Structure 1
Amino acid sequence: MITESIRSLYNRDLNKLKAEIEAYQNEENLWKTDKNIANSAGNLVLHLVGNLNHFIGTHLGNSGYVRQRDLEFSLKDIPRAELIEKIEATTAMIDSVFAQLSEEDLKKEYPLVVFERAMTTDYFLIHLVAHLDYHLGQINYHRRLLDI
């Protein structure tokens, strides 16, 4: 039951992320920053895709994904269509991994120590969806401020 609830939150919010990226009137503005806005929407998308593929795809789904976190913030000018493909692939990966997770699996210890202490898998998956939503809000604000 909780597995399906968490999975539906990821699907909902990754679809919102896709809609935000599609809502930019000017594709170049995806990569715009300002004196008080250090990260572009494009870089935040790369960060979210990298984060989810690393922590869910690699560590729960054995996907073999290798994260290059520095590139999440240094790559620029990736076409909107490619960002959307990355979001869609991440959504598919999450569906695939969650299809394999049982309620028992969620109560197990997450296989990687992330916050200097062990935690359950369900706790960390809830943290990751909150992280997704935090950056989704930043992207929404970025678009409304800088897509002019």
Structure 2
Amino acid sequence: MLLEVLNTLFQRDLAKLRQEISLYKDERNLWLVEEHIANSAGNLCLHLIGNLNTYIGAEFGKTGYVRHRDLEFSLKDIPRTELLAKIDETMAVVEKGLSNVTEAQLAEEYPMLVFERPTSTEYFLVHLTTHLTYHLGQINYHRRLLDS
């Protein structure tokens, strides 16, 4: 049951991420930063893609994805079409990865140590949904503030 809910939330919010990136009137504004805004929408998008491909795709989908976290924040001017394609790919990776997780695994320790101490897989997957929505909200504000 929880796995179905998680997949529904990931798919919903990744579709919303796709919509937010598509809504920018000027594609160049995806990469803007201003005082007190540390990250561009483009970099936050790359960060979310890297995060989910690492913790769901590589871990549960066995995709072989290798994360380069520093590039998520340093790459610039990636074409919107490429970001949208990466979001679409991530949606498929998340769905496939979650389909490999069993209900019993949810109570088990997440295979990677991500925080200061081990967490259950259930806890970590819920964390990933909140991480996605947190940055999705930042992207929404970024677009409304800097793409006028």
TM-score band, normalised by shorter chain = over 0.9
Q: TM-score, normalised by structure 2?
A: 0.98
Aligned partner of 1:39 in structure 2 is: 39
Conserved 8 A contact 2:61-2:97: yes
Structure 1 residue 109 corresponds to structure 2 residue 109: yes
Amino acid at match of 1:117: R
Aligned partner of 1:30 in structure 2 is: 30
Aligned partner of 2:19 in structure 1 is: 19
Amino acid at match of 1:105: Q
Return the alpha-carbon distance in structure 1 between the equivalents of residues 113 and 33 of structure 2. Answer: 33
Return the alpha-carbon distance in structure 2 between the equivalents of residues 3 and 88 of structure 1. Answer: 20
Conserved 8 A contact 2:60-2:100: no
Aligned partner of 1:82 in structure 2 is: 82
Return the alpha-carbon distance in structure 2 between the equivalents of residues 28 and 8 of structure 1. Answer: 31
> Could you list the per-position Cα deviations for residues 3-28 of structure 1 after superposition, in whole angstroms to 9, with x for gaps in the alignment?
10011000000000000000101101
Would you say how many aligned residue pairs link Structure 1 and Structure 2?
A: 148
Return the alpha-carbon distance in structure 1 between the equivalents of residues 20 and 50 of structure 2. Answer: 18
Return the alpha-carbon distance in structure 2 between the equivalents of residues 79 and 119 of structure 1. Answer: 37
Return the alpha-carbon distance in structure 2 between the equivalents of residues 91 and 140 of structure 1. Answer: 19
Q: CA deviation at 1:127?
A: 0.3
Structure 1, unpaired ranges of 5+: none
CA RMSD, Structure 1 to Structure 2 (Å):
0.7
Structure 2, unpaired ranges of 5+: none
Amino acid at match of 1:68: H
> Could you list the per-position Cα deviations for residues 68-127 of structure 1 after superposition, in whole angstroms to 9, with x for gaps in the alignment?
001000000000000000111000001111122221121111001111111110100000
Q: TM-score, normalised by structure 1?
A: 0.98
Aligned partner of 1:61 in structure 2 is: 61
Identity rate of aligned residues, in percent? 58
Amino acid at match of 2:99: A
Aligned partner of 2:98 in structure 1 is: 98
Q: CA deviation at 1:38?
A: 1.2
SS at match of 1:59: helix
Amino acid at match of 1:131: H
